[in-house]
Structures are given as structure tokens and as C-alpha cells.
Structure 1
Amino acid sequence: MSGPMRGVRVLEVAQWTFVPAAGAVLADWGADVIKVEHPQTGDSQRGLRQLGHITIEGDRNPVMEHANRGKRSVALDMSTPDGHQLLMDIARTSDVFLTNFLPDARKKLGIDVDDLRTVNPDIIYARGSAYGPLGPDAGTGGYDMTGFWSRAGGALGSTPSDMDGVVPQPGPAYGDSIGGMTIAGGIAAALFERERTGLARVVDISLLGVGVWASGVAVNAALASGEPWIANPAGANVAPNNPLVGFYRTADGRFLSLSMLQGFRYFGEFCTRVGLPELAEDGRFASHELLARNAADAITALRTAIAAEPLGHWRTALDGFAGQWAAVQNTAEVALDPQVRANGNIVTVEDADRGECYELVASPVMFDEASPRLTPMPEFAAHTEELILELGGDWDRILALKESGAIA
């Protein structure tokens, strides 16, 4: 594959989404990512067919495709002597070892840092975890709902202050996907340093750490003030001192999102575009200070005007407006958004084996204004024999490994 990671081999011993998503990003960037799966069970997500209210029919598996496109699948049982030896043979040829196995499991299976460094002193060892490698919860597992969303402050930070309950993540593997991108960035930095200095690092990224970073400004405010972040009330809420920051409901029950931090700069033209030119001339809003002081009056007038027309009308009325606004879109609309398409955030995947094409979300980094070229996720165990032959093995070794149960 082409890309800035071409020539880099990543050995991935992981399942679910958080760490495998990092492997998918590296594959998008051109790395040869070898995914190790257990010969009997494979990645636990291969059989997942229910995503919230959506039932997945047919051969497609959006979760697996999101986190595993572009990889090669090798099915081996590393708990057996022969399987462990094969894993170490792959590690000798690899630049990166990527895992989300917990400390006790890594030690039991002989895949900890020292084990890999014994066969390959230059390998970058990357660990993704729920809560990080240090502290009392270092050996505790978790998912993005617990480590990223709940414990790191995102859940309460997103929950309206007058809501009885807690807002869930926006979609499946939300924190996992952000975390996977972060892991990929950490690995890229470690590879860069190794290229410059020869030093091979251990890279650690946790869902908790990624979540704290995502809520970093609010956490920093808590550090400075001792006060927790409290979200605005539910509904079409607007900043109390700036009528051009917040959400306005449209006639069809949709929402406009406004984020004009320099509210007075855009107030006049915005009022004209929504059919309230007299508001722009009103002395109550004649300066930045006056607009902030009388924001409640402006908000009331704007709510009435915007609620009178559907979202499609406002898309047209605000087309070309210099202020910062967006329609609040659902995921089906995101999938068709022309700006998303223009920037290669969704790309076509050609599956030659099945004779079909389909689309997937690409990782968001572009190189030379080109979207990555994605290839399908691997069939289970599809590359086991191929890789053994690449490593210098022969069919006698392949048959012996199959007879011992070390490979599928």
C-alpha cells in the first residue's frame, strides 16, 4: 500500500475497537498491519450484528470494517509453544507491536515488553488500556463508555443540567475511535524518534487519558476554580450573553447551531438574513456591550423568526454567510454531506474477492490532499499460510503447525 507508513510492519494482538482502530489508521497510512486472532474464536466482534436499534444483515460488519480494514489476518494460538514461536518470528520482522491485552494476560502469554524486546530490541511496543499503565487501576479492564466517557467527565459534561439521567456516547465506539487515532499518532512519533536516534519507546495510551484530554478545557477550568463544568439546560439553549452562540429550533423540529464568538460582528447581517433587519438597527444592540446586556431580547426575537421556517429554508438563507453556523445533522445526512465527500472522509472500498464495492469512513488525516485508499477487512485467518511462507517457512511447517493446533 502507498502512504507515509509504507514499509512499516505492525503486529497487532488486540480485539474490539480501541486498539484495532489504531491499526486501521496505520493501515490507511500504508503500514502492513498483521492482525493476530485466536484460531477458534477470532476477534470477538466478528459476530456482532446488532448496533443499537440497527440490525446488520448480510456479510457486512461495520464495526469490524471500521477497525480492521486493510489488515492481514493470521490465526494462531499464542498460548501453545509453536504458536508463540510463530508470533515471535513475526515480531522479529515487525516495527511495532500493538496490544490491548491486560498486564496479567501479557505476562502469562509471554508477550510483554521484555519478551518482544528479547527477539527484537528495536520494536516499538504500544499498549492501549482503559486506565493507563500506572496507579491502582492499571490492571483493570474497561470500554470507552466507562474509561473515556463516564470517568473522564465527558458524560456529565454533555448532560443538560436539567436532565434526569446521563447522556450516552453519540454512537458505537465513539471514544474508541478517537483513542485509536491518538494511539496511531503516538506510534508515528515513536517511529520518528527511532529513525532519528535509534531509541525504541514503549507507548501507552488509555481511554481515560484520551477522555481527560478531550474534556481538557473544562478540566483545566476545574483545576483553576475548583468548580465542575455544568452543561446548559436541555432544548434549544443559547449562550446568555451572546445570541449567536447556541441552538435554535426550526419549524420542522430540526436545529441550527450557531458559534459566532464575535457575536456583534455578525449580528447585523444575520438578522437581515433571517428576516429581521430592524433588529440590526435597534439601539439595544448597537454595540458589543449592549448586545451582551440585552441578549435575552435578541434571543427571543431570533427564536420566533427561526422557528417559522424549516431547516431547508435556513440552509438556503444562510448560504454564503461569513458567520460560523451549521445544521445539526444526523448520521445519515453526514454520510451524504458533499463537504464530507469532497474531503475524502468517506471512500469507496473495492472488494475484488466478492466482486463488490461499498463505502467506509476513512481516517481523517489527508496527505497531499488525497484521501487514503482503503482495502477490505481480512477474512478470518486469510493470510496465515501466506505470512509463514513470507517468513521463510514451508508447507511442512504449515502442516505441522496445523496438526499441533497452533494455527487455524
Structure 2
Amino acid sequence: MTAVMQGVRVLEVAEHTFVPAASALLADWGADVIKIEHVERGDAMRGLASSGTVPVTGGVNVLFEHSNRGKRSLALDLTTADGLELLYRLTKTADVFLTNKLPSVREKLKITVDDIRAHNPKIIYVRGTGQGERGPEADRGSYDFLAFWSRAAMAHTVSRPEYGHVVGPPAPGYGDSIGAMTIAGGIMGALFHRERTGETPVVDVSLFGTGLWAVGQALSLSLQMGVPMEPAPLERLNPLVQNYLTKDGRWLAFSCLQAGKYWPLLAATLERPDLASDPRFADHNTLMAHSAEAAAVLREIFASAPLAEWRERLAGFSGQWTVVQHTLDAAADPQAVANGYVQECETAAGVAFRLAASPVQFDDAPSTPTRGPEFNEHGDDILATELGLDWDTIMDLKVRGVVA
């Protein structure tokens, strides 16, 4: 893959997933990312024991790896004058400064836009927040489960009343990962603008704003009609825009919007010519009028055979369908394999694991992520090579707890 971000240096003062995953993507694309970590505990993600539903085991913290692949780690105490001075010196070498610290914390640590640009006026300053940089809750932290999923209306639109509970997001770091891609795109746009004009924008991305964008079509429809978007009914008007259960408990998903066109083709695939000639299903209008009956017929048919058989029988069907897959299915999907959507990695100790690759590819090749850094793995090298400190000075900083 072409390393489109080669030569770009990112200085990150952030933890968890939302913002660090953005610089992980940039590292995948060739950027040099220096991750500044808390001098004692490091990124809080290093100590995460569970996703909330699944324990983090197997010798690899893959949740940390997802959002920190390809970076270098330096642990600094930014509450000390010496630690802050080291950060400022690194700032002079960077193209991008990336943080998810709250406004009040940025002020306290002296890493605001003005603080950082006092040492590098040409740096792109990037802030990732929960609810946005302005407003009454600008200084309130959040998580994607809250700002992206619940506050931005996603939870409401997928939680049917009969469930009796609010549906949670489908994966840990779900909104974080989507928001990270948004931040990465914003950074690349800002760098392009700087290249063209010499101007250095401040980039802001929030979990709430990203969530509103993700439900943007529903949001616009709601505003247009004056009613909130509600969960879709289980029985759709179109029998070919539904899910059907197979004999072995798996699901097939269909999304044939032109039902009148695809109904006879599906009937032929199912070896049921009677369905094509049935006057109830003769054209699009009659099919819509008898949608419930058509769906009942399809439920019975698909329940008669296991998924493996339906994969084979539907392979030649030209309508739009897929299998509702779980995560292991998706990783092994022939299209995922052919396009390199899942990549092999290994830890410093040689323990193998796999990561989702960046969804953006350049020049017909997937990005190949490398492992995340061990805590302060590159600290001594950065201090000596990048900043030119001698060993006595480095040791003095270590003894005083300024660096790890």
C-alpha cells in the first residue's frame, strides 16, 4: 500500500479509543505517531480487563492494539515543568497535535491551541470531544455508548417497544471507531489545506456530532415530517426487504427494493414457478398488496433448509441478499480475505493476533498494521535521538519521575 501519510508526524496526548484510533489509522497509512502516556499507568486502555461483555484475555490486549497500532510510546508527567517542556520540544517537530483532554484539563496542563502553537505556529491542532467544543456541556466527558449511541438517537431507533429494554451498541468502541475515521479524514483535509494555503486549521470532532451524521438521513426526515424516527416494523411492506430464518437457526437478509423485478427470479431460484404465476404476486403493486402472504410463504421455504444449502442455491440469484454473519463469519468471509480486511500481527513477545485493517486502501493494497507499543517502549530513544538528551539527563528525569 502507498504510505500516503509518510513524512507526517503526529503527537498524541490522548487515551481510550475515540481519538487514539484516529492516529492509529494515520500510522497505518505511514505517519509517525508519538503517543504521550501517563507517566505511571499509561493509557487507561492498557488496564482494561473486559469489553463489558467479553473478557480481554489470550495474552494480547486487542482492544488497546486496535487503537494504538504502529505508534511509538513516551511516558511523560505533563504536570511537571520539565515534562511539559519536553512535550513542547516535540511539538516543534510535529505536523499534528491530537488530544481528547477536556477543555479544563487542556488549560490546566497548558496544552491549549495557544499553548501548543506558541511553540509551533504551523501545527494542525485536533480536538476530539464527547458533545462538542462549545455549549453548556463542552467540559463534560463522555463515551460512545452515551454521546454517539444514546444521545444521537441511535439507541432509540433500534429499540423496539416489545424488547422491554434499550438496545446497546453492537461492539465495544463502535462509535469510537467510526468517530476515529472521521477525525483521520479531518486531519488529512487540514493537512491538505495547509499545503495549499499555508493556513493551519483547528479540527474538532465529537462523538455526538459523529452520531448525528450517522443518523443524518433519519434526522432530516424527522425534521421534515415533525415526528421522531421510530424502530422499523418487523413486517416490512416489501417481502423482499426482510430477514428470514433458516432451518439451522441462521438468518438471510434480503434488500431487493425492486420487488416486482426480483420476485420471479427468486421464484425460479427456489424452484417454485407457482409463486411467479400466482396472481397475488404478479407484479410490484399486487406483491405489495399481499406482502404479508408473500413473506409467510418465504418464511416457510427458508425454514426448510440449513444455511449451507441456501448459500449454494442463492449463489446465482441476481437480487440483493446476504447472510447475517457473526464476527467470526465476517473475518472468514471470502471477500474479507480477498481484500485483506483482516490483518495478521504479533506482539513484541511473538504472540499472534489479528486486527481489522483500515477500510481505506491506496493503490489496490490493504494497509498492514504493526503492533501497538509497549508502555514507554520508545521513551529513551525519543529523548536521546529526537531531543538530543544525554544519558545523565535522561536518568535524572527518570529519578525525578518526569519520564518513565
TM-score, normalized by length of structure 1?
Answer: 0.96
Query: 1:218 deviation in Å?
Result: 0.7
Unpaired segments ≥5 residues, structure 1: none
Equivalent residue in structure 2 for 1:330, among 316, 326, 329: 326
Q: Is the 8 A contact 1:97 1:126 kept in 2?
A: yes
Match of 1:239 among 227, 236, 239: 236
Out of 257, 264, 269, the residue aligned to residue 261 of structure 1 is 257
Q: Is the 8 A contact 2:2 2:363 kept in 1?
A: no
Find the counterpart in structure 1 of residue 111 from structure 2: 111
Q: Distance in 1 between matches of 2:53 and 2:168?
A: 14
Mapped to 2, the partners of 1:365 and 1:2 lie a distance apart of 11
SS in 2 for 1:51: coil
Aligned twin of 1:123: 123
Check if 1:387 corresponds to 2:382.
Answer: yes
Question: Is residue 145–residue 175 contact of structure 1 (8 Å, CA) maintained in 2?
Answer: yes
Distance (whole Å) between structure 1 residues aligned to residue 194 and residue 303 of structure 2:
57
Does the 8 A contact of 1:82 with 1:406 survive in 2? yes
Q: Residue 283 of structure 2 aligns with which residue?
A: 287
Q: Deviations over 1:187-226 (max 9, x none)?
A: 0100010010011011000000010011111111111011
Change (3 A) 1:299 1:201: same
With over 3 angstroms needed to count, the CA separation of the structure-2 counterparts of 1:405 and 1:154, relative to structure 1, is same
Q: Confirm whether residue 167 of structure 1 aligns to residue 164 of structure 2.
A: no
Work out the CA distance in 2 between the residues paired with 1:222 and 1:159: 17
Q: Per the alignment, in what secondary structure is the counterpart of residue 162 of structure 1? A: helix
- Give the share of equivalent positions with the same residue, in percent: 51
Aligned to 1:405: 401
Q: Is the alpha carbon distance of 1:58 and 1:317 closer, same or farther for their aligned partners in structure 2, counting shifts above 3 Å?
A: closer
Amino acid at match of 2:248: D
Q: Give 2:373's match in structure 1, choosing from 358, 372, 378.
A: 378
1:359-407 alpha-carbon deviations (Å, 9 max, x no partner): 2111100111111121110000001111112222222321222132110
Distance 2:204 2:52 in 1: 30
* 2:232 partner amino acid: N
Between the aligned partners of 1:405 and 1:346, the Cα distance in structure 2 is: 39
Q: Residue deviations 1:249-291, cap 9 Å, x none?
A: 1111211111111111111111222232211111222222222
Report SS of the residue matched to 1:205.
strand
Q: Is the 8 A contact 2:29 2:367 kept in 1?
A: yes
Is contact 2:155–2:168 with CA below 8 Å preserved after alignment?
A: yes
CA distance in 2, matches of 1:310, 1:258: 17
Deviation at 1:336, TM superposition (A): 1.3
The letter for the 1-side match of 2:255 is S
- Secondary structure class of the residue paired with 1:245: coil
AA of the residue aligned to 2:319: G
Deviations 1:287-313 (A, max 9, x none): 222221221221111111111111111
Range 314-323 or range 66-75, more displaced: 314-323
- Which stretch shifts more, 249-258 or 66-75? 249-258
Does the 8 Å contact 1:238/1:247 carry over to 2? no
Contact 1:5 1:29 in 2 (8 A): yes
Q: Using the alignment, how far apart are the partners of 2:270 and 2:380 within structure 1?
A: 65
**CA offsets per residue over residues 27-46 of structure 1, 9 Å max, x none?**
11110011110111101110
CA–CA distance in structure 2, aligned partners of residues 317 and 340 of structure 1 = 22
- Supply the distance in 2 between the matched residues of 1:344 and 1:122 (Cα, whole angstroms): 36
Q: Corresponding residue for 1:9?
A: 9
What does residue range 331-370 of structure 1 map to in structure 2 within 5 Å? 331-351=327-347, 353-370=348-365
Indicate if the aligned counterparts of 2:331 and 2:342 stay in contact, CA closer than 8 A: yes
1:321 and 2:303 matched? no
The offset of 1:350, in angstroms, is 4.4
Work out the CA distance in 1 between the residues paired with 2:271 and 2:214. 38
Any conservation in 2 of the 1:144–1:207 contact (CA below 8 Å)? yes
CA contact (8 A) 1:256 1:327 kept: yes
Contact 2:248-2:307 at 8 Å conserved across structures = yes
Q: Report if aligned partners of 2:235, 2:292 keep a CA contact under 8 Å in 1.
A: no
Structure 1 residue 321, shift from structure 2 partner: 1.9
The answer to whether the 8 A contact 2:245-2:303 is kept is yes
Secondary structure (helix, strand or coil) at the match of 1:291 reads helix
| C-alpha distance in 2 between matches for 1:388 and 1:104 | 28
Q: Is the 8 A contact 2:2 2:362 kept in 1?
A: no
Cα distance in structure 1, aligned partners of 2:364 and 2:235:
36
Instruction: Give the CA deviation at 1:333.
Output: 1.1
Partner of 1:102: 102
Per-residue deviation, 1:58: 4.1
Deviation above 3 Å: which 4+ runs of structure 1? none
Check if 1:307 corresponds to 2:308: no
Cα distance in 1 for residues equivalent to 2:214 and 2:13: 26
**Counterparts of 1:215 and 1:275, CA distance in 2:** 39
| Aligned counterparts of 2:350 and 2:162: Cα–Cα separation in 1 | 52
SS at match of 1:252: coil
With 253-262 and 117-126 compared, the bigger mean Cα shift is at 253-262
Q: CA RMSD in A?
A: 1.4
Once the 2 structures are TM-superposed, how far is the Cα of residue 49 of structure 1 from its aligned partner?
A: 2.3
In structure 2, what is the Cα distance between the partners aligned to 1:72 and 1:105?
23
Question: Which amino acid in 2 is paired with 1:59?
Answer: G
